[in-house]
Structures are given as structure tokens and as C-alpha cells.
Amino acid sequence: MRRSEIREHVFKLLFRVEFYEPADLEEQDRLYFEPLTLTDEHKTLISGRVRLIEEKLPEIDKRIEELSVGWRKERIGKVELTIIRLAVFEALYDDDVPVGVAINEAVELAKKYGGDDSPAFVNGVLGKLVK
């Protein structure tokens, strides 16, 4: 499975954080994976990555607040917030993902799942990571 495919699954599971209680997320993972034909290894990899991001959410959200001047986290759309959270995690905590790749992949997710202005917004916020 390509990294971009794994990233997309992580995005979809991470999106649920805004809608479910932490105690319900493991069950949500199970429901998400049920209709998919992924190997157990891929399921474990994806779930583990989501858990790592969830653990770092307070730090990630603090960094997002610093990057998105004039935009409180609550004002950012849920799709864009999830994409930015994933990219900030990859850029700051995943040594295997260069910052430029994290930003580019986030913009691609924004094109696919966000609104018309999402790619520019995501790129604008994340572009401040490299400054």
C-alpha cells in the first residue's frame, strides 16, 4: 500500500475525533475497517498512526493556533483542521516525512475532500511551518 493511501485512511479515521468520544474511537476503527479488504498489518499501521496523532493533539492544536493567525481552531472547517493536524504531525513528529512532502500531501487531500478554497487555506497555514 502506498504512503498516500495510508495517509488517506489516517485522515478519514482522524476526522472522527471531532465527532466521537475517545472511548468510542476503537469501535469506530473497527467499523471503518470492516468493509475494507486491508491486511491486518495495514490496519494496525493505520490505527497506530491515528493513536499517535490523537496523543499529540494538544501539542498539534497549539501549533496550529500559532500558524493560523486570525483563525481560532474552532473557526477552521473540520476537514481542513483534520488535514492540517495530520500534516503538522508528519512535519514535526515523523522523521520519515519531509516537511515539503507533508504540505504537498495535505494540499492534495484538501483538493479531494475540502471545498474550493481549502487547498489554498491549508497551503497558507502549513507554509508557515517552513519559515
Write out the residue range of the structural domain in which residue 105 sits. Answer: 3-130
Within 8 A by CB and 6+ apart from 63, the residues are 88, 92
Count the domains in the chain: 1
Within 8 A by CB and 6+ apart from 107, the residues are 119, 122, 123, 126
Kindly report, residue by residue over 31-84, the tens digit of the pLDDT.
999 999 999 999 999 999 999 999 999 999 999 998 887 777 778 899 999 999
More confident of the two residues 131 and 46: 46
Given a contact cutoff of 8 angstroms between Cβ atoms, the answer to whether 57 and 85 are in contact is: yes
Locate 123 and state its grid cell.
497551503
Residue 131 has pLDDT above 70, yes or no: no
Locate 98 and state its grid cell.
519531509
| pLDDT confidence of residue 84 | 96
| pLDDT confidence of residue 114 | 93
| pLDDT confidence of residue 47 | 93
| CATH number, position 104 | 1.10.940.10
